[in-house]
Amino acid sequence: MKFYFDSSALTKRYLFEKGSDQLDRLFLEADAIVISSIGLLEIISAFSRLRREKKLNTILYQKCKQAVLEDFVGFEICQLTPEVLKTTIHILEHSQLRASDAIHVASAIHAKVNRFVSSAAKQILTAKEFNLTVDSV
C-alpha cells in the first residue's frame, strides 16, 4: 500500500507526541512512502524551531535530524512539477489551505497514493474533498 505522509504527521515519527503510536503503525503498513520535496525542509524547520525555543536540546536535534535524513533516502519524493503546481493552485482556489498544505494534497493526488496521512484538520478535510482516503494522526 502506498502512503503519503505530510510533514505534520511525519514529524511524529521523530518526536514522540500525541499520534506517534498510530503513525508508527501506519508506517509499518506502508509498502511505499511518498512525501513532497518540501517535506524534509518543513520537518527540519520544525526541529530547528523547537531547538531555538529550548524544547529540543542540540543532541536530540542532531539525532532527530539524522533519523529523518536516513529515512528520506527510502522515500519516494514528489517533486514540484508544473502539474503538481497547477493542482496546488486549483486546491488553493477551492479551499482555505495555506500553500504548503495545498502542495501536500496536490502531491498525494499526483503520486496516486492509497492513503493520505496528516494531523492538520483543514488539510484532512480538503484531502477528503479531493477524494483522498485519509488517516488522521
Architecture of domain 2-136: 3-Layer(aba) Sandwich (3.40)
SS3 of residue 63 by DSSP = helix
User: What's the rounded Cα separation, in Å, for the pair 62 and 99?
Assistant: 28
Give the pLDDT of residue 134. Answer: 98
Q: How far is CA 134 from CA 65, 67, 97, 111, in A?
A: 27, 25, 16, 14
* Collapsed DSSP state (helix, strand, coil) of residue 87: helix
> What percent of the chain has pLDDT above 70?
100
pLDDT in the model for residue 127: 98
Using one digit for the tens of pLDDT, what is the confidence trace for 72-96?
A: 999 999 999 999 999 999 999 999 9
**Domain locations along the chain:** 2-136
* Interval 23-42 mean pLDDT: 95
